[in-house]
Amino acid sequence: MHDVSANQAGSPLLQKYRQVRALSDRLCAPLEIEDYLIQTMADVSPPKWHLAHVSWFFETFLLVPFLPGYELFHPDYGYCFNSYYEAVGQRHPRPQRGLLSRPTVKDIYAYRAAVDEAMAELIEQQAGNRDVEALVVLGLHHEQQHQELLLTDIKHILATNPLRPAYRRDLAQVERVKLLPLGYQSFAGGIVEIGREVDGLASRFEDFAFDNEGPRHRVFVEDFALGDRLITNGEYLEFMTDGGYQQAQHWLSEGWGMVQREDWNAPLYWEQRDGDWWVMTLAGLQPVNLAEPVCHVSGYEADAFARWAGKRLPTEAEWELASRGIDSEGNFVDQDHLHPQPAAEATKGSGLRQMYGDVWEWTQSSYSPYPGYRAAEGAIGEYNGKFMCNQLVLRGGSCATSLSHIRSTYRNFFPPSARWQFSGIRLAA
């Protein structure tokens, strides 16, 4: 118990630091060493790369500039573990992250430990330095993002394997709940403010928002209605059996190109065995549960489903407006299901269920800068702004997101072709 009490020592920020970092370790605990290395496609990074990269982030943006006398843990790690920060120098090509056996997993845990030790020193030393604290907080939210990627990448790694190994066998089984009928809840439009005033980086973890969530600004929204729960596997199966994947008229042109080229005929991870649909989950291969939210669909599939259903996807402004006042409770990584759950009770204070957690909800909104948005100077400015092109916004978090990471204004973004995230569908009308 010595360690635990030691970890509880220190400032609130240091405690937060330890708490967030510990989750990365916990998420990797079920892995074999071999699982840490695999890159099944360019989008996926090996788990050991994630573990090293988030440490490199602290080392590069905090330890090197702010901790006097700090020496790099290894001179080549910058090259190996820089993701995309052009301002910080050359880096190993992304599609080749799976070609590196060294540094070993053990080396990387040693790297993490060394960074943690130095960070503890730095955090105490610089207590009250709001600039430093803000960067620590940014690093923690950055690590939370990679924790979600760890889970989605591990899932892809294990699902690609012909043995279909389970990540964990001890995840709570999904209870078969009675499916609630889909209804729509109406909202009045008008000029509304969305986004959040972001004046530099917050120095308290709880106050944090990414720069892409601001500035807070006015938009005009027409009256709209939102589906009161997520679309289920059962509903999606209707689309499939109605020929959804065979009929061009439901699809965006690029989506239809993907369907043809990639032979899509079901969500990612679904496979048919002897006529029944199964789905690969972090608990291994399972029969498809019709009451669960459909998951691992691309933006193209979400859009095609909506058109087939005579509806549409929400805009991000509609989603944000509707989410106001709803507690961000839900099925998050904290609940340790690691799989979307059927809609049960209405979310507190609202007729809308499953707004937070379970699956990221595709919107029809392109990921664009809010009016007045300007990226920060230097490497940190590369965090969000340079990706504002050819992506769609997703909202609400998933079963792989941390509760402390999500909020009403949070803008996640992926290209409409992406399927390996926990992404699903809520309709608008």
Residues lying near its own copies in the complex (CB under 8 A):
32-40, 76, 79-80, 84, 86-87, 92, 98-105, 157-158, 160-163, 165, 191, 217-220, 222, 248-249, 251-256, 300, 364-366, 368-369, 371-372, 381-382, 386-390, 415-416
Q: Of the two residues 36 and 56, which places its CB atom closer to its own copies in the complex?
A: 36
d(CA 94, CA 176): 41
Q: Of the two residues 10 and 98, which places its CB atom closer to its own copies in the complex?
A: 98
Q: Of the two residues 206 and 242, which places its CB atom closer to its own copies in the complex?
A: 242
Cα dihedral 413, 211, 89, 53, rounded to 10, equals: -60
Q: CB of residue 116 vs its own copies: minimum separation in angstroms?
A: 22
Q: Of the two residues 7 and 74, which places its CB atom closer to its own copies in the complex?
A: 74
Q: Helix 299-308 and helix 253-262: axis angle, to 10°? A: 110
Q: Residue 247 CB: number of other CB atoms within 10 A?
A: 14
Q: CB of residue 79 vs its own copies: minimum separation in angstroms?
A: 6
Q: CB of residue 256 vs its own copies: minimum separation in angstroms?
A: 7
d(CA 59, CA 73): 9
Q: Of the two residues 347 and 365, which places its CB atom closer to its own copies in the complex?
A: 365
d(CA 279, CA 297): 13
Q: Of the two residues 272 and 390, which places its CB atom closer to its own copies in the complex?
A: 390
CA dihedral sign of residues 296, 299, 301, 307: positive
Q: Is 2 helix (H, G, I), strand (E, B) or coil?
A: helix
Q: Is 158 exposed, middle or buried (0-12, 13-18, 19+ CB in 10 A)?
A: buried
Q: Residue 206 CB: number of other CB atoms within 10 A?
A: 10
- Check: CB of residue 11 under 8 Å from CB of residue 124: yes
Q: Of the two residues 12 and 89, which places its CB atom closer to its own copies in the complex?
A: 89
Q: Is 84 helix (H, G, I), strand (E, B) or coil?
A: coil
d(CA 429, CA 220): 17
Q: CB of residue 360 vs its own copies: minimum separation in angstroms?
A: 18
- Check: CB of residue 27 under 8 Å from CB of residue 4: no
d(CA 298, CA 58): 32
Phi, psi (5° rounding) for residue 41?
-160, 170
Q: Of the two residues 234 and 369, which places its CB atom closer to its own copies in the complex?
A: 369
Q: CB of residue 108 vs its own copies: minimum separation in angstroms?
A: 10
Q: CB of residue 159 vs its own copies: minimum separation in angstroms?
A: 11
Q: CB of residue 191 vs its own copies: minimum separation in angstroms?
A: 6
Phi, psi (5° rounding) for residue 364?
-85, 0
d(CA 417, CA 401): 21
Q: CB of residue 17 vs its own copies: minimum separation in angstroms?
A: 28
Q: Of the two residues 210 and 256, which places its CB atom closer to its own copies in the complex?
A: 256
- Strands 224-227, 184-187: pairing is antiparallel
- Check: CB of residue 342 under 8 Å from CB of residue 179: yes
d(CA 54, CA 57): 5
Q: Of the two residues 6 and 188, which places its CB atom closer to its own copies in the complex?
A: 188
Q: CB of residue 321 vs its own copies: minimum separation in angstroms?
A: 13
Q: CB of residue 307 vs its own copies: minimum separation in angstroms?
A: 9
Could you tell me the two tokens for 308? Answer: 């087939």
Q: Of the two residues 239 and 300, which places its CB atom closer to its own copies in the complex?
A: 300
CA dihedral sign of residues 330, 332, 335, 338: positive
Q: Is 182 exposed, middle or buried (0-12, 13-18, 19+ CB in 10 A)?
A: middle
Q: CB of residue 407 vs its own copies: minimum separation in angstroms?
A: 23
